Chain A
Amino acid sequence: MTTQIVPISDSQLIFTGILVLITAGISASFRLGLLKSLLWGTARCVLQLSVVGYALAWIFSVNRLEVVIPVIALMALFAANTATRRTPNVSDFPTLLAFVALASTTYLVAVIVSLTIIRPVPWYESRIVVPISGMILGNAVSGITLSIDRLYGEVRSHSHEVEALLSMGASPWESVHDLIREALRSAMTPMINSLMVVGIVSIPGMMTGQILGGADPVEAARYQIVVMLMISCAAAVGSMILIGLSFRRLFTKDEALRPNLFRSNS
């Protein structure tokens, strides 16, 4: 762990231009029409990450709970908005409910990880809690979008079964119970699969980053274990909360399946 982090100076950063030029060359020679998007994307990438870098530097230097909490809430809000675009089956994505699900999942899992596993001092140490929350959010978003999209898709393709159960006296919850199980399963399966192959197929980005940053690979691996288990838990908790909050929206006030469920957004 005596290795030092290799800093990248402004002049060194300029040379990433070589990489952009190669990409642009490929786009130009095959007339892919991607040149404009590539340049715009590069500019945004540089700008966004620099801003995030400075913002994080400020958040870390202040290091107060009353800053960390709203920062995580803001991240959850952005995440909830992204989720809307990833759910083709859901015609009216409940952004507010997604925000509630994401924020509560992130607070819950981050507090558990910080208090019981990493135990920094103070426990809300922003250098630990903010990046952890980011990772929880990123994975909870894919969990909740998979599960809610799957739920709507399942209800749509099994609407006769749902209506048959409603006809026989089922409550809304009972009528979609089996489909909710499928939806939760689809949210959790990718996470569990990635637990199986992590390290064999690829070394996760966070671990790579830590190693590049000079950390001992053994230590980095231990962090990665925490992260992997934390994000599986976040996907499960987030999907469960969002489905619990939103399944009632599949039904009318009269406990019938909503007729406009059968439209998808494109």
Chain B
Amino acid sequence: MVENKLNEPIDPANLNLACPILEVSIPVDKLRDDTNPPHLNFKIDKRHIVWLLGRSGIGKTTILRTIARLHETSGVSMKYRGTIYHQIEPRRWRSSILYVNQKPVMFRGSVRENIFKPFRLRLNKDRIPENASVVTLLRKLYLSDSVLERDAMTLSVGEAARICLVRALLLSPEILLLDEPTASLDLDSRKAVAKTLNEWLSLTDSGIIGVTHDETLTGMAPGLEIHLGSY
């Protein structure tokens, strides 16, 4: 079964495409609710969705941040396509397993500058997206193209959250870590997000791990539901 593709020029070169995209084992005994099992284990493959559910403050965001390696990773075991996480450069790991903050992060400048900002990084500068694909994504999320010229600081939280989602999707990660992507959106926008995510999954070989309290989202984009704190 194990098929080594050592000759592939991509880095890290020895990833095994037969393995799940991501296998995760995270100790959860540090969570506030001690009814949890000691470890949270799951794997995720292409077009899979994992929803982490449970009441606020239970540490769901910490789990996403841990998977993105933004948070202390002791006692954690993670494999990306069969390769242990610490053998992969953090910046490559993070751009493949992309964390999107619950609180939308906007940088100074226009919305356009914000969307293209990650493509000025050395790691991404060879895959700058077409303007057309930016506009398509914006429209799917009920944003008009004129939003591109607006000052990012004047956006509402709901608009900024959707811009952040557009920016993340354009980076075409293999796993999208979404922290309450619909928290500040109205019903129509929540449906649009669910639909966009479904379409994105069907067009790519990616997966999603998300934290949400939104039943519209879990209803329209169903996945494996892990209930934290209720075992």
- A interface residues, Cβ below 8 angstroms from B: 160-161, 163-171, 174, 178, 252, 254-257, 259
Contact = CB atoms under 8 A, between A and B. Distances in A.
A256 B90 contact: yes
B140 interface: no
Given A166-B94, A169-B94, A256 B101 contact: no
Given A166-B91, A169-B94, A254-B90, A174 B68 contact: no
Contact of B122 (A166, A167, A174, A255): A174
Contacts of B118: 165, 168-170
A259 B69 CA distance: 12
Interface in B82-107: 86, 90-92, 94-95, 98-101, 103, 105, 107
11 contacts: A160-B105, A165-B117, A166-B94, A168-B98, A168-B118, A169-B94, A169-B95, A178-B107, A252-B72, A256-B71, A256-B90
A180 B180 CA distance: 31
A169 B71 contact: no
A82 to B, nearest CB: 34
Contact of B70 (A161, A167, A171, A174): A167
B124 interface: yes
Interface size class of B (residues with CB under 8 A): 20 to 34
A169 B95 CA distance: 5
The list of the 7 closest CB pairs from A to B, nearest first, reads A169-B95, A168-B118, A164-B105, A169-B123, A255-B90, A167-B99, A256-B70
A164 B101 contact: yes
The SS class assigned to the B binding surface is loop
Given A168-B118, A169-B123, A161 B105 contact: yes
Interface of B: 68-73, 86, 90-92, 94-95, 98-101, 103, 105, 107, 117-118, 121-124, 167, 171
Contacts of B86: 254
A254 B73 contact: yes
A87 to B, nearest CB: 25
B73 A168 contact: no
A164 B69 CA distance: 12
A169 B119 CA distance: 9
Contact of B68 (A167, A171, A259): A167
A254 B103 CA distance: 23
A167 B124 CA distance: 12
Given A167-B68, A169-B118, A255-B91, 16 more contacts: A160-B101, A160-B103, A161-B105, A163-B99, A163-B101, A167-B94, A167-B101, A169-B94, A170-B123, A171-B121, A171-B122, A174-B121, A174-B122, A254-B86, A256-B69, A256-B90
Contacts of A169: 91-92, 94-95, 118, 121, 123-124, 171
Contacts of B94: 166-169
A254 B86 CA distance: 8
Nearest to B96: A169
Max chain B C-beta neighbours (<10 A), residue from A169, A171, A252, A255: A169
Contacts of B73: 254
B101 A259 contact: no
B105 A257 contact: no
A139 B124 CA distance: 40
